[in-house]
Amino acid sequence: MKRVLFVCVENANRSQMAEAFARIHGGGAVEALSAGSAPSGRINPKAVRFMAELGYDLATHTSKSLDDIDGTFDAVVTMGCGDRCPWVPAKRREDWNLPDPKHMDDAGYRAVRDEIGARVQRLLAEL
């Protein structure tokens, strides 16, 4: 089983959606996790709403700290958090410098969501 970790600052939007897409597309072959360097403690209601449009219940997720994550990963993907994301052991590292959609309108939020979904599918195909 491949282990994948998605990291952003608040662990409330981008990394949560990436974790969800990895679970959707990876099935039982992927253990997907997400965490934040400064977690907000909640999932953004917009993220919940826009993932629900795709049939995924993001309300079951929790905002987690990187301090709660252990082990090594096949891939660690940061979401443009720059130097606020600490180093996590991984065979593969990527930075997806995606804009934080939390203040975007619905169309902008969906565009970021869909870009994350496409990138997750590419990543999983390459692992």
What CATH number should be reported for the domain holding residue 56? 3.40.50.2300
What pLDDT does 5 receive? 96
Distance (Å, rounded) from C-alpha 100 to C-alpha 114?
Answer: 13
Kindly name the residue from 81, 120, 123, 124 that is annotated as catalytic: 81
As a whole number of angstroms, the distance between CA 94 and CA 90 comes to: 10
**In this predicted structure, what is the pLDDT of residue 85?**
65
Q: Which of 66, 75, 76, 85 is catalytic?
A: 85
Q: Count Cα neighbours of 42 within 13 Å in the Cβ-side half-sphere.
A: 4
**Neighbouring C-alpha atoms within 13 Å toward the C-beta of 66:** 20
**89 annotated active-site:** no
10-residue averages of pLDDT along the chain (127 residues):
93 96 95 93 96 97 92 90 69 91 96 98 96
Examine the residue annotation and report whether 43 is marked as an active-site residue of this protein. Answer: no
| Active-site residue (options: 5, 7, 8, 22) | 8
> How many domains are contained in the chain?
1
One-letter identity of residue 10: E
β-bridge mates for residue 85, sequence order: none
Which range of residues forms the domain containing residue 95? 2-126
Calpha distance 41→11 (Å, rounded): 8
Q: Residue 82: its pLDDT value, please? A: 60
8 labelled catalytic = yes
